[in-house]
Structure formats: C-alpha cells, structure tokens
Amino acid sequence: MSERKILIVDDDYNICELIELYLKKEGYIVMSTHNGLDAIEIFREETPDLVVLDIMLPKMDGWDVCRELKRISNVPIIMLTAKGDTFDKVLGLKLGADDYMVKPFEPRELVARVEAVLRRTNTPGLVTRQMILPHLLIDMDLYVVKINDHTFSLPPKEMELLYFLVKNQNRVFSREQLIENIWGFDFDGDNRTIDVHIKRLREKLEPLKNKYEIKTVWGVGYKFEVK
C-alpha cells in the first residue's frame, strides 16, 4: 500500500470526491482543493508527491498553477480537462505536465496513470534542487553557488535565474519567458530587469568563461551555453 500524498485540484466537488475515493482505496494520502490559489498554498504546506490538476479553475487557472508549481518544484502533474483539443494537450506538456486526461474519464484509469507517473518520475514533491556541473554547483535549498572552490550567496532572483538557465542549458528564452518563470505571471516591472541580472551573473561566472557562458541570442533572448 502506498503512503504517498496526492493533491487533487478541481472545482467540481463530485469529481474530487470520486478521485479521492479511488486513490484512498489504493493507500494514497489525498488532499483536495477547488481553486488555483489555494492549490499553491496547500502544495507549499503539504509537499505532495503528485498533483492531479484541472485546467478550468477559479482564481487562477490550471495553466498558471502548473507553471508556478514547476517553477518551484519537480512534482509530477497530471492535467484534467473537459477539453480534448490538441492545443490544450500540447500546452500542458510544454508547461511541464507529465500526463493528460480528458473528462469524462474512468477513475481506475486515472489511478493507473498516477501509479505509472510516480514510477516513471520517482520524484517527491519538493525535491532537493541542485545543479551540479564541472566546477559549478548551484544549491537552491541552501541558496549558495560554488564556483571552483569558492562558495558564496547571490540575491534570490539572481539565484533563481541562474538555476533556471542552467537547468535548461543550451535552450534560448526571451526576456518575457524568463520574467514569467522567475518573477511570476503578475510581474508589472520593466523586462529590462533581466538584462541587469544577466550582467551581474556574467560577472560572477567570469572564472568559468571557457566552460560556460550566458549567451545573448540577438533578437530572441538568452541561454546558458555549455562549451
């Protein structure tokens, strides 16, 4: 019997109760909520091992919830929706969802998918967040960076930006994408903020310039390049 925790996020109370019944029968610890903002708060408090997430939610929709959860965690997410459009499925997967089910669905199939995703990811909710490369370590739990043998701290947003770029090394992101992933969907500042943080990070990474570079891709954005 499993003792792993599952968070269900759906504004339909009946669907939550049905999923909860089937998952509890398999030994899972189940929590549920019915809006996006509460989902993020519960996630931070309870650190579930997997999230079953509806798209159409009050206060914050499933896309934004998925984006925020993937920003702070590697938790696996199964998206639920009444829509069967290919666009919705592709968008969910691009945001980091691990699987996708269209309503109405068979509860036993959802349980099987939960089990399959957990086996595949084998990832607890808030896992240790480290990126380890030769001569470079970024530890988001301790909020420190180690370059060669020198360990130091960075301001929070610089840490998060560096971690995000290194985690997605060699992939190009626009300023808007970086702001969305680091500052969040409600950021109302100047997107040139990214340029200032990139400049500071380049200065910190100067000792490793022959190995790594935060490269400007003109007309597009930035990427962390491993040479």
Q: What is the pLDDT of residues 112-126, one digit of tens each?
A: 889 888 887 764 444
Alpha-carbon distance of 147 to 28, in angstroms, equals 42
Strand stretches in 143-186, DSSP E: 144-147, 150-152
Number of domains forming the structure of the chain: 2
Counted residue by residue, the chain has a size of: 227
Q: Which residue ranges in the chain fall short of pLDDT 50?
A: 1, 123-127
Neighbours of 126 (CB within 10 A): 16
- Candidates 11, 8, 27, 29; CA nearest to 19 is 8
| DSSP string of 43-76, one letter each residue | HHHH--SEEEEESS-SSS-HHHHHHHHHHH----
Q: What is the pTM of this model?
A: 0.54
Residues 117 and 135 grouped into a single domain: no
Q: Read off the tokens for 202.
A: 């380049």
pLDDT at 92 (0 to 100): 59
> 83 lies in which domain range?
5-121
pLDDT at 86 (0 to 100): 56
pLDDT at 186 (0 to 100): 57
C-beta separation of 155 from 78 below 8 A? no
SS (H, E, C) 98-135: CEEEECCCCHHHHHHHHHHHHHHHCCCCCCCCEEEECC
Residues 138 and 103 grouped into a single domain: no
Q: Which of 51, 86, 121 is at the close of a domain?
A: 121
Q: What is the pLDDT of residues 168-217, one digit of tens each?
A: 899 999 998 888 778 765 566 777 889 999 999 999 999 999 999 999 99
Residues 9 and 101 grouped into a single domain: yes
pLDDT at 50 (0 to 100): 94
Residues 115 and 143 grouped into a single domain: no
pLDDT at 185 (0 to 100): 58
C-beta separation of 1 from 90 below 8 A? no
CATH number, domain of 150, equals 1.10.10.10
Which residues lie below 8 Å from residue 168, measured CB to CB, with a gap of 6+? 224
User: CA 64, 117, 61: angle at the middle one, nearest 5?
Assistant: 15
What are 51's strand-pairing partners?
7, 77
Query: Exposed, middle or buried: residue 4 (CB in 10 Å: 0-12, 13-18, 19+)?
Result: middle
Alpha-carbon distance of 67 to 179, in angstroms, equals 12
C-beta separation of 63 from 81 below 8 A? no
Residues 16 and 96 grouped into a single domain: yes
